[in-house]
A and B are shown apart, each in its own frame.
Chain A
Amino acid sequence: MLEKFKLTEVWLKIALLFVFSAFYVAALSFPEQSRQFPQLLAVASLVMTAIALATDFTRKRAVRAEISGVDDTELKVLDADDLRARKKRYYQAWAIILLSTIIGYLFGFLFSALCLFAGFALVFGSRAKLPRNLVAGAGMTVVVYLVFGVMMGVPLLNGVLW
């Protein structure tokens, strides 16, 4: 039973139960015609999620659920160290994305683009190829600016600070 709680699938379904319940409860304050459809959907989705969750717990053993969108062939042969390394890379990617988005919010989207290229080159690229990756990133940022900023008029340099 306890091993089932180690699965992302189980936690996702539990989270979905809360999400669907929240949709139902939040709709209580809407006028009747506005709440009818979302409440109907929320109840149907809630029931289906509960059934799916119950099915997970009646299974004899835990089954890793990742589907073809994620390459699970690797997961089957990866040891604990590799899995930890994957997790680390995932969090590093999010850190770069969030930091560059904040920079983009403050200074304009173009700086966000520059940070993404530089961040991934620094963290994910090999040290030997760092200069090449940085130059490629800077070049692509210039192309983005010329195509979208100059030719199409997208305000890439508008941030909240200026």
Chain B
Amino acid sequence: MDVVLQAIAAVFLWQNLAALAGGSIYGVIIGVLPGLGPSAGMALALPLVIKWDPVTALIFMGSLYKCSNYGGSLTAILVNTPGDASNAATILDGHPMCQQGKGGVALGLSATAAMVGGTLGMICLIFAAPFLAEFALRFGPSEYFLTALLALSIIAAVVQGATLKGLIAAGLGLLLSTVGFDVITGHLRYTAGWAPIEDGVPLIQALVGLFAVTQALVLAESATSISRLAKLFGGFWEGVRTYFHYPVSIVRSSLIGLFIGVLPAVGQSSAGLLAWADAKRSSKHPETFGEGNPEGVLASETATNACMPGDLVCTIALGIPGSVGAAIFLGVMIIFGVIPGPLVFTEKGGLIYSLFFALVLTSFVIFVIGMTVGRRLAAMTLLPNAIIVPLILVVSLLGSFAIRNEMSDVFISLAFGALGYVMLKGGFTPIPLLLGLVLGELVETNYHRALMISGGSYTIFTASIISKILIVLTVLSLIGPYLGSFWKTLTQGEK
């Protein structure tokens, strides 16, 4: 208990409060810029904090990480471009709300979700971290493999309402994730001798292309501003009030976020999408989801923010990051001498609890940022195409370029932009493709590991109770959308 109190006191030192405020503001700016997510933001900020005290540096990086996720939700809502894969679900209802002129309401929802989801997640995890980490340790390679498959199948089934198309897009994403060095054998696959993709298709560059470049092309083509109504209805506080109209969704989404967060390597991108899917399924008006339903924004944002603490617990306690951002955060921790593992809570307890408490405070800082500048950011949706399109392209392609300082990364982003545009025109959503790309390495590595453990026998995938439950859930997620109409036909007959 003394350690926890000392850790809380440490956060209130002026340098740590300054780091928290600086990291939060920097994070929102980085997140708002389409394509520059938490990973690029942390990578760019590393030279700045490298000589700081570890507690101050990790508070800065933690606030940056959390706030860039919030910033990413702003761009998801305003310009249909998630700052990071974790904001992918927010675009489904957030951007349609914006197109209806309710950008201010959506931003209010998102800021309240960041505060409520983040605080709930953090408080739960401060007390429950040891127990949750123990449960996550029961997951072996086959369970990881099946969890990733479950996430993919659910997303494929619900994100667009066309399971087959979703699965095809997810399959393409998984296949693209096999490009580069095979993590098991070290064999080079599908690179055609082109060096920039030898380490795999770069995720951030692909994300920039699929969402930012595609969105810029769609905007350029339509010749209108993002908000088609040319004015904004509803404000931030309306969004805050709307948020508390859905208490059941708040609790459900927080629990989904917490559960997904604590599962190693599944991450925030899955949490947001799963919570959105859950809210859609349990709603009396599922047809309004994807058309600008505030509950969709609430569910995805609450789950994403509740997921981040769990994600960090896995990253810190097990050394298994739950997302690209968490992977970079893991690297930052190692740079500052915090070696992740089961002993980190005893050896570096003070630092870890300072970080946790700082993240609770950051949730409130996000709300203040949303309250003060959210409306002004919403006005961005009224900018004419001649300004907003090149702005999106410059900032997002710059994010792509700045990671390795290579123009080849810009070409990769443009190629993914063309792919994303063709997919949209062809009736496919790129979200399952992105998730396939994110989870591909996890799926393949654990597939091979499981087979190595079992000596090549596929029975390992059905051996444990957890595996069986995961398989049943996967099958249900795939046939679920068809069961409703089948049941209706069975009970009411063909009319």
Binding site for B on A (CB under 8 A): 8-9, 11-13, 16, 19-20, 23, 26-27, 30-31, 33-34, 37-38, 41-42, 44-45, 48-49, 51-52, 55, 65-71, 74, 85-87, 89-90, 92-94, 97-98, 101, 104-105, 109, 112-113, 116-117, 119-121, 124-126, 129, 133, 136-137, 140-141, 144, 148, 152-155, 158
Q: Which of B60-68, B174-182, B315-323 makes up part of the contact surface?
A: B174-182
B185 touches A137 (CB 8 A): no
For B411, give its contact among A87, A101, A109 (CB under 8 Å): A101
With known contacts A33-B184, A34-B182, A124–B172 Cβ distance under 8 A: no
SS class, residues of chain B in contact with chain A? helix
Contact flags B182-210 to A (C-beta < 8 A → 1, else 0): 10110101100000000000000000000
29 sample A-B contacts, Cβ–Cβ < 8 Å, listed by A number:
A8-B422, A9-B427, A13-B168, A13-B426, A19-B172, A26-B190, A27-B190, A37-B178, A38-B175, A41-B175, A45-B168, A45-B175, A65-B426, A65-B427, A66-B425, A66-B427, A68-B92, A87-B221, A89-B220, A90-B221, A93-B389, A97-B213, A109-B410, A116-B390, A116-B393, A121-B387, A121-B390, A133-B386, A144-B394
Q: What CA separation (Å) do A62 and B175 show in the bound complex?
A: 30
B389–A120 CB distance below 8 A = yes
A41's partner among B178, B391, B398, B402 (CB-CB below 8 A) is: B178
CB neighbours (8 Å) of A93 from chain B are: 216-217, 220-221, 389
Chain A binding surface SS class: helix
In the assembled complex, the Cα of A105 lies from the Cα of B99 at a distance in Å of: 35
Does B405 contact A67, Cβ atoms closer than 8 Å? no
Q: Given known contacts A90-B217, A93-B220, is B407 in contact with A109 (CB within 8 Å)? A: yes
Which A residues touch B391, using CB under 8 A? 117, 140
Are A52 and B394 closer than 8 Å at their CB atoms? no
**Assembly CA distance A86 to B407 (angstroms):** 29
From A27, A51, A71, A152, B189 is in contact (CB under 8 Å) with A27
Total CB contacts across the A-B interface at under 8 A: 188
Given contacts A12-B422, A20-B175, A124-B386, 14 further A-B contacts (CB under 8 A): A19-B172, A33-B184, A45-B168, A52-B165, A67-B427, A69-B218, A71-B99, A93-B220, A101-B414, A105-B407, A117-B394, A121-B386, A126-B386, A141-B394
